[in-house]
Amino acid sequence: MENCIFCDIITGNIPSKTIYEDDIIKVIMNINPEENGDLLILTKKHFTNALETDEKTLNHINKVIKSMSASLIENLNATGVTISTNTGSNQEIKHTHYHITPGYENKNPLVDIAIIYDKLI
């Protein structure tokens, strides 16, 4: 897809802090996190949104969501996670992606994502 920032991240044209990658998805640190440890799951194949994404990819994303959520809870002491995706006019970037945002009992100030990255890899 032309001019897709997530496609540029997947191809390596834009650097990212990659937490996990396989042939279907790439999990990166969100550079504009809502909370410490905010992750993005990007499909490697360009789909506009989750409604257009094939079942095999969606099933794989669900498995990765489980493991990444467990990692946030274990490694960052998160007390929960919020999992979200947007479609249509609610999407800022028209490429299938999911947010995994950790929650904490006490609100912590945001720290440099490099510090969080080191705790997750």
- List the domain boundaries for the chain: 5-120
According to CATH, what is the number of the domain 5-120? 3.30.428.10
Over 70: is that where the pLDDT of 1 sits? no
Mean pLDDT (the chain) is 95
pLDDT digits (tens, 9 = 90+) for 76-102: 999 999 999 999 889 889 999 999 999
Helices 113-120 and 55-76 pack at an angle, to 10 degrees, of 100
Collapse the DSSP code of 91 into the 3-class scheme (helix H, G, I; strand E, B; otherwise coil) and give the result. coil
pLDDT of residue 3 exceeding 90, the answer is no
pTM strictly above 0.85: yes
CA-to-CA separations, 77 to 37, 45, 68, 69, 115, in angstroms, rounded = 10, 32, 13, 11, 14
pLDDT per residue over 32-76, tens digit each?
999 999 999 999 999 999 999 999 999 999 999 999 999 999 999
